[in-house]
Amino acid sequence: MARVKSAPSHYPRVPFHILRAAQLLSSLVVGAIMLYFIWHLTHDHWKTPWTFLLLTAVSLLTVLALTATIVLHCCCGLNPRLNIFLNSGLAVLWAVGFSLLSWWMSGTLTHVCNTANWHDETGIMVCRIYKSLFTFSLLGLISTLLALALDLYVRARQTQRGIYKLQDIDVKPATRGPFTDDDHEAIPRESGAFDVPYAAQPKMPGATGYAVPEGQFVYGYGHDTGYHGGQVGRGDF
């Protein structure tokens, strides 16, 4: 049985997979950092900031969207319109989350992660985690925007390929065949192999035109057709 294959994809392979890998990496890192911070804040009975909840949600949604679309891409082909819808929503969430994070940790970004600013090794580790969170949040936003731009480009090409224009076709005018039997004038054949007049074709001796020679199928006159005990002749019946 023939193997079932997916529909051909309109996406360029290298940019498509590179952008998806960047989205997945940034989502996994941001999600892991957010879960780590939320666990510690909950353990110490601190309230979780809305920025952390939003970044956690967008990272998890991005992983789910990437998983669903890669399954569609491998099984039946990815529709650019579906991917535009998903990446548009994710881009908005990434933009809002990154904006809130940048505003919330603006003071941390301008400080050096050392003991003078963070007092001890634990503080230095938290400072580095915050900067990693900022970096991968920015990567998630940029990769999602680029993925959305790629979706729009592929959709535009797909729409353009769906429009066909009639081209000027050099059609040879129809000609009447050489054996026409109506009242129109016969048109000579393209090949001259059969252009010999009927009257000029060779005839059999004694034949007129294409007539069959007389007596060819006559067996009753002048021919011995009887059976004579093993010999052909008359009178043995």
How far apart (Å, rounded) are the C-alpha atoms in residues 190 and 195?
10
Q: Are the beta carbons of 65 and 86 closer than 8 angstroms?
A: yes
**Cα angle value 108/104/27 (rounded, 5°):** 90
Q: Are the beta carbons of 7 and 76 closer than 8 angstroms?
A: yes
Beta strands at 227-228 and 231-232: parallel, antiparallel or unpaired: antiparallel
| Number of neighbouring beta carbons within 10 Å of residue 160 | 8
How far apart (Å, rounded) are the C-alpha atoms in residues 30 and 57?
10
Closest CA to 23 of 150, 113, 188, 121: 150
Ordered DSSP codes for 210-227 = TPPPTTTT--SSS----E
At residue 215, the pLDDT reads 53
Q: Are the beta carbons of 43 and 82 closer than 8 angstroms?
A: no
Structure tokens at 146: 């680029």
At residue 143, the pLDDT reads 97
How far apart (Å, rounded) are the C-alpha atoms in residues 98 and 62?
14
Identify the H or E element spanning 142. helix 121-161
Structure tokens at 12: 């360029």
Q: Are the beta carbons of 56 and 34 closer than 8 angstroms?
A: yes
Taking only the tens of pLDDT, the chain with its 237 residues reads 444 454 556 788 899 999 999 999 999 999 999 999 999 999 888 998 999 999 999 999 999 999 999 998 888 888 899 999 999 999 999 999 999 999 988 878 877 888 887 888 888 898 899 999 999 999 999 999 999 999 999 999 888 765 444 444 444 555 555 555 555 555 555 555 445 454 445 555 555 555 555 555 554 444 455 545 554 444 444
Structure tokens at 154: 């592929």
How far apart (Å, rounded) are the C-alpha atoms in residues 5 and 8?
9
How far apart (Å, rounded) are the C-alpha atoms in residues 139 and 115?
28
